Structure 1
Amino acid sequence: MATTSEPSRPLDLGEAAPATAGVTRALFFLAVASFSGAATTRIMDAILPQIAHEFAVTIGAAAFVATAYAFAYGLFQLVFGPLGDRYGKYRIILLACAGSALTTLACAFSGTLPGLAAARLLSGMMAAAIVPLSIAWVGDVVPGDERQQVLARFMSAQIMGLLAGQIGGGVLGEYFGWRSAFLLIAAVYVLAIAGMLFEVIRNPALTRTKHAADASLRKSFAAFAGLIRRPVVRFVLAMVTIESFAMFGAFTYVGASLRYRFGFDYASVGLYLAVYCAGGLTYVLFSRRLIGWLGPARLSFWGTVLVAATYAAIAVTPFAEAYLPAIAVMGLGFYMLHNTLQTLATQMAPDARGSAVALFATFYFLAQAVGVYLAGLVIDRHGTSPVFLAAAGLLLVLGFLLLRAMPQELRNR
């Protein structure tokens, strides 16, 4: 009989504690929201050539739509992090989902490239709260010795969202037009909103905050300067900047490479890109063994080696078929790297975890925006191969930095 009352037990958000049924259920709805956020983040990988064709611009010019989203997503971490710490992470995520649904619909109905870029900018602003505050919420309610495993499982929803964005963008774009993909993502946001509203009614503690009632937003924003003065924070921010600049400055154009080098249709581009997610899911399935076997420093190092090798391979190969295994291995390697950095982000400032993870995400997406923009300039003149080779070199440098300079508290986990 005792088990019947467990789901309605209020969540204690004071100190991290072992996951309960309430935490698991609440995390599921966050996962649905993160699925939608991931899908809309990477949907441009598959439909970028189609947008360039519809609006009669170069691939580099069309990539401004992706840059606008990443820039807004990164910048607004600095807003939502303190808001999450002050007003409750779950509440802010719920409101952000509502805004994301509306702005994603605006993307679907945009009739010009500047209009689409503006809608994507607003979409990035709204979606900025979802994944980082979800990660910070996990940090609040899951103890440190379980956190990387829980984050790895939570990451599977993001990976499935990437998969949906890339396949959906390609297949729906090929047969129904790229706008249909945005309509579908908006519908999933609505499902996430409904589930989260139900959970908030069932567990009102979800909207509470750990911070004192008189904590001011001014103090929260001022805390960013204090966070950056911490050595561990500076290390993590530097590493995620290199990671995102190199990884996604190049990856945004892998679909364009398949389209323009090998003549793939949009559906085939989406299907090829989707194996990236298969590599990521492979990491999720074996994450416990890999983390225990390699440890965080070596796990992230070998992740960078895998990604660098695959970028070098697709830069020089004359065979389209080589992209398929390369993209899959790229997904495995990236999540070996990124899961480690995500975990360190939750540990680098436990007293302001929402703000710390938001700062991490800000650097991640601003670096991505800069990388996509600069790569587009190179690609319009010289093609994709120089960009892929440069990404490989930067990622190898990142791997060696992580191996030699990983903070001891993470290395020994």
Structure 2
Amino acid sequence: MDREVKATSKKITFMVPLLFFFSALLIVSNVYLLLPITAHVADYFGTSIEKAAWGSGAFSLCYAFGLLFFGALSDRFNKKKIIWFGMGATAVITYLTGEAGNVYLFLLARGIQGFFAASFAPAANAYVFEVIPKQKQTMVLSLINIAFLLSGVFGQLVASWITVRYGWTTVFIPLAVCYVILFIAISFGIPSERATTQLRKSNSFKFVRKPIVLYCYGITFSLLFSFVGMYGSVGDHLVANFYLSPNGIILFRSIGIIGMAAALFTGTLLNRFGPYIVLTSSLIVAISGVIAMLFLYSFYLLAAASVIYVSGISVTIPSIVTLIGKHSPGERGKALSIYAFILLSGASTASVLAAMLSFQTLILVIIAMLSIAVILSCFVKNAAAAQ
């Protein structure tokens, strides 16, 4: 009995954070996978770039609806099984995506891929609150959200590297292999949560009537909106002002990754200062980094400002997840799936605006969005005090 308890404890301490980090990184990378290789897809199928770009659009759209579907399921069924099934289905359809014979089958496969890939995020976030000890929850949530942020850079780098050397259809093969490995590892590497009748019968959406959750949702939209918007538009700005090559732009984006390390200290900050002070402070740090980018004309100072911004966002995201999870007991799957849906909506909106607006204009929009988020964070604290 003691051995079984120790084995389960070891899985929770080591295997769950490790598997969830790599699952989040590899799953969400699919959102960004086609961005640098859309022209290759269009040439291969003999179609327009606009139609080929729907490979990203189909994935994102179906991913968004999949989040809501699997979020509802994760409140009623075993979360480990949902993650396990979704990973297996994603592995199969990912391989088939690279084998599509025409652009329409490719777009269909990408849509199905997005739907099943969405099974991970809501089930994994809810699983953390159900199984992981409270003192370690923030650390695991931070790792998951670091992976979400890293995926934007990782997915594009991997897709570009493989496409140049082996062709774009090959991109999906190593991904499918990784999903199979994760499928097997999840089977043996993470324990199932205990069945709870009350949780499985939950279907009331009581959490949407809580002001604190609604304020958190309002803040959520601005997070990936600002992240994708800033990094989506900064490339043209760097080329125009510093004549950077594509490698120089990659270097700039890579430097920003340093700021993601701040997420690892979120648990310590939450324990010491509480979630409300940490939430407001991290948003202020993020907005200060963005404001600085408007007035700096040195590559290295801009890169330093991006590190400040990313560090603020990296602490804000797990803080928001912690607050939503705390205030939606019994309905965390649905609550966190709506959170993920709003997060993705912000990213999608920003990617469109990044193609339409100049860097300076979009930065002003981001500053306005984050300013609203700071105000909402004050309402979060007041709503918590009123409960």
TM-score bucket (shorter structure): 0.7 to 0.9
Residue deviations 1:228-248 (CA, integer Å, cap 9, x gap): 223222222222123333433
Deviation at 1:114, TM superposition (A): 6.5
C-alpha change, 1:60 and 1:265, in structure 2 (3 Å) is farther
Deviation at 1:342, TM superposition (A): 0.9
Residue deviations 1:86-125 (CA, integer Å, cap 9, x gap): 2211101111112222343355456877665544433321
Specify the code of the residue in structure 2 equivalent to 1:236.
C
Residue 328 of structure 2, aligned match among 329, 346, 349: 349
How far, CA to CA, are the matches of 2:245 and 2:99 in structure 1? 24
Is it true that 1:76 corresponds to 2:76 in the alignment?
Answer: no
C-alpha change, 1:386 and 1:411, in structure 2 (3 Å) is farther
C-alpha change, 1:283 and 1:198, in structure 2 (3 Å) is closer
Deviation at 1:252, TM superposition (A): 3.6
Residue 275 of structure 1, aligned match among 255, 258, 269: 255
Residue 211 of structure 1, aligned match among 184, 191, 197: 197
Specify the code of the residue in structure 2 equivalent to 1:21.
K
Would you say the 8 A contact 2:17–2:140 is kept in 1?
no
Residue 369 of structure 1, aligned match among 348, 364, 368: 348
Specify the code of the residue in structure 2 equivalent to 1:368.
A
Q: CA RMSD in A?
A: 3.7
How far, CA to CA, are the matches of 1:60 and 1:392 in structure 2? 30
1:38-187 pair list within 5 angstroms: 38-43=28-33, 48-52=35-39, 55=42, 65-109=55-99, 117-158=107-148, 161-162=151-152, 164-173=154-163, 175-176=165-166, 178-187=168-177
Specify the code of the residue in structure 2 equivalent to 1:394.
M
Specify the alignment match of 1:17 in structure 2.
none
SS state at 1:406 partner = helix
Is it true that 1:287 corresponds to 2:277 in the alignment?
Answer: no
Would you say the 8 A contact 1:262–1:320 is kept in 2?
yes
| TM-score, length-scaled by structure 1 | 0.77
C-alpha change, 1:327 and 1:171, in structure 2 (3 Å) is farther
Paired positions, count: 383
Residue 194 of structure 1, aligned match among 163, 184, 202: 184
Would you say the 8 A contact 2:218–2:373 is kept in 1?
no
SS state at 1:190 partner = helix
How far, CA to CA, are the matches of 1:58 and 1:229 in structure 2? 46
Is it true that 1:301 corresponds to 2:287 in the alignment?
Answer: no
Specify the code of the residue in structure 2 equivalent to 1:6.
V
SS state at 1:86 partner = coil
Specify the alignment match of 2:338 in structure 1.
359
How far, CA to CA, are the matches of 2:98 and 2:59 in structure 1? 15
Specify the alignment match of 2:362 in structure 1.
387
Specify the code of the residue in structure 2 equivalent to 1:405.
V
Specify the alignment match of 2:308 in structure 1.
329
How far, CA to CA, are the matches of 2:226 and 2:342 in structure 1? 13
SS state at 1:350 partner = coil
How far, CA to CA, are the matches of 1:123 and 1:269 in structure 2? 29
Would you say the 8 A contact 1:169–1:270 is kept in 2?
no
How far, CA to CA, are the matches of 1:183 and 1:269 in structure 2? 27
Identity across the alignment (%):
20
Would you say the 8 A contact 1:139–1:147 is kept in 2?
yes
How far, CA to CA, are the matches of 2:184 and 2:150 in structure 1? 20
Is it true that 1:237 corresponds to 2:217 in the alignment?
Answer: yes
How far, CA to CA, are the matches of 1:50 and 1:322 in structure 2? 30
C-alpha change, 1:176 and 1:239, in structure 2 (3 Å) is same
Which 5+ residue runs of structure 2 have no aligned equivalent? none
Residue deviations 1:279-327 (CA, integer Å, cap 9, x gap): 112331x334433454323322333233334434445655544443333
